[in-house]
Amino acid sequence: MPDDLTPATDRASVDTVSTDRPATSGPAGAGAGTTGPAGLAGVEAVPGAAKPDALLVVDDVVRRFGGMTAVDVAHLEVQRGAITALIGPNGAGKTTFFNLLTGFDVPDGGAWTFEGRSLAKKSAAKVARTGAVRTFQLTKALSRLTVLDNMRLAATQHPGENLFASLVPPLWKKREAEVTAKAMELLERFKLDSKKDDFAGSLSGGQRKLLEMARALMTDPTMIMLDEPMAGVNPALVQSLLGHVQALRDEGMTVLFVEHDMHAVRHISDWVVVMAEGRIVAEGPPEDVMQDQAVVDAYLGAHHDTDLGDDSLLDPDVLARLAAEEEKR
């Protein structure tokens, strides 16, 4: 039984999130589903499907650790302006794949482009400058700086970062004021403005996730990549996080996120990509993907008749029964 299914305490928060995504057409699990938002209507729901306006294109990216192949992605395209979820069981290679795409790790082979420009062999800093920024599963807030200072540090094109210019305040004070105003605007949007003078280390886990997302937006990214944004978040903040992710898409930003919370994925995603053992095993609209046989097998093994999007999975009695059945195998 996988340990990454949504706990029952999260369901109420997640299920209250509204979505204007139209219903999916096509037979479940048949690889023929289509979806309307962000230009994905008519896209075939198969691994490596071509997208009408692909922002990120990945080809033959492989990462091995000793004799184990952690990532082996033959082809993947991420649609511009859509929310794409990257899901899969623990150990599927999702975070490693994120690390490769964003310059935090180096692949053994392959190539990928972002807006037509190659990102292979580029450092994390150079990748971020192209407009592809990421957050982390374990938040990277600078605990001994204030929330506002964490935000200011993410700003780009600040003349005060030059050693000599920093000695002449008139050269950077105007830019500092602009950065501070932008930081406060984002903190207000994420309801963290009241915490601006608090140390980042004093924030709750959910507030740190919000801070990371807000800080990423200081760079005005084209695509934001979120690594398990709901992990460890108090249910009271789950709805807020989901709403912020949807708002990014509505503003024209591309969102690619790793998530284990199937109900969050179902409610906010336009497209879902499934990894298992380092490979892409399924793609498509969330309603279809969660009934796809390859996906159900990857998550639940022998329990192939169980729908990943079924709320009954969250019932403690059902979880206990499935666990008991698994122990008897």
Question: With 50 as the cut, is the pLDDT of residue 203 above it?
Answer: yes
The 3-class SS string of the chain reads: CCCCCCCHHHHHHHHCCCCCCCCCECCCCCCCCECCHHHCCCCCCCCCCCCCCEEEEEEEEEEEECCEEEEEEEEEEEECCCEEEEECCCCCCHHHHHHHHCCCCCCCEEEEEECCEECCCCCHHHHHHCCEEECCCCCCCCCCCEHHHHHHHCCCCCHHHCCCHHHCHHHCHHHHHHHHHHHHHHHHHCCCHHHCCCEHHHCCHHHHHHHHHHHHHCCCCCEEEEECCCCCCCHHHHHHHHHHHHHHHHCCCEEEEECCCHHHHHHHCCEEEEEECCEEEEEECHHHHCCCHHHHHHHHCCCCCCCCCCHHHHCHHHHHHHHHHHHHC
Residue 209 lies in a domain: no
Residue 1 lies in a domain: no
pLDDT tens for 59-109 read 999 999 998 999 999 999 999 999 999 999 888 999 999 999 999 999 999
Note whether 230 and 264 are same-domain residues.
yes
Note whether 122 and 198 are same-domain residues.
no
Q: Provide, rounded to the nearest whole percent, the portion of the chain with pLDDT above 90.
A: 48
Note whether 133 and 150 are same-domain residues.
no
Residue 109 lies in a domain: yes
Q: What's the total number of domains in the chain?
A: 2
Note whether 165 and 36 are same-domain residues.
no
Q: What is the pLDDT of residue 23?
A: 37
| Residues facing 254 on adjacent strands | 223
Note whether 164 and 106 are same-domain residues.
no
Residue 212 lies in a domain: no
Q: Which of 248, 258, 188, 260 is nearest to 216 (CA)?
A: 248
| Residues facing 118 on adjacent strands | 113
- How far apart (Å, rounded) are the C-alpha atoms in residues 13 and 116? 39
Note whether 131 and 232 are same-domain residues.
yes
Question: With 80 as the cut, is the pLDDT of residue 131 above it?
Answer: yes
Q: Which of 85, 60, 63 is nearest to 74 (CA)?
A: 60
How is residue 178 written in tokens? Answer: 């602009």
Residue 314 lies in a domain: yes
Q: What is the pLDDT of residue 143?
A: 85
Query: Confidence class of residue 242 from pLDDT cuts 50, 70 and 90?
Result: confident
Residue 276 lies in a domain: yes
Note whether 150 and 95 are same-domain residues.
no
pTM for the complete prediction?
A: 0.75
Q: Which domain holds residue 155?
A: 142-202
Q: What is the pLDDT of residue 302?
A: 41
Note whether 286 and 244 are same-domain residues.
yes
- How far apart (Å, rounded) are the C-alpha atoms in residues 317 and 123? 48
- How far apart (Å, rounded) are the C-alpha atoms in residues 24 and 118? 34
Decide if 187 contacts 196 (C-beta within 8 A). Answer: yes
How far the first Cα of the chain sits from its last, in Å, is: 12
Question: With 50 as the cut, is the pLDDT of residue 19 above it?
Answer: no
At which of 170, 202, 234 does a domain end? 202
User: Which range, of 12-21, 50-59, 116-125, averages the lowest pLDDT?
Assistant: 12-21
For position 285, which CATH number holds?
A: 3.40.50.300
Q: What is the pLDDT of residue 301?
A: 58
Note whether 127 and 276 are same-domain residues.
yes
Residue 211 lies in a domain: no
Query: Confidence class of residue 7 from pLDDT cuts 50, 70 and 90?
Result: very low
Question: With 60 as the cut, is the pLDDT of residue 29 above it?
Answer: no
User: Which range, of 25-39, 94-108, 210-224, averages the lowest pLDDT?
Assistant: 25-39
Q: What is the pLDDT of residue 25?
A: 34
How is residue 253 written in tokens? Answer: 């930003």
Note whether 99 and 244 are same-domain residues.
yes
Query: Confidence class of residue 37 from pLDDT cuts 50, 70 and 90?
Result: low
Q: What is the pLDDT of residue 211?
A: 92
Residues 4-12, mean pLDDT to the nearest whole number:
38
Q: What is the pLDDT of residue 164?
A: 84
Residue 216 lies in a domain: no
Q: What is the pLDDT of residue 306?
A: 46
- CB-based contacts of 63, cutoff 8 Å, min separation 6: 69, 70, 71, 93, 96, 97, 100, 105, 107, 108, 278
pLDDT tens for 272-326 read 999 999 999 999 999 888 888 778 877 755 444 444 444 444 455 654 564 565 4
Note whether 282 and 314 are same-domain residues.
yes
- CB-based contacts of 79, cutoff 8 Å, min separation 6: 38, 39, 40, 43, 51, 52, 53, 54, 55, 254, 270, 271
Query: Confidence class of residue 38 from pLDDT cuts 50, 70 and 90?
Result: low
Other beta carbons within 10 Å of 2: 13
Note whether 314 and 239 are same-domain residues.
yes
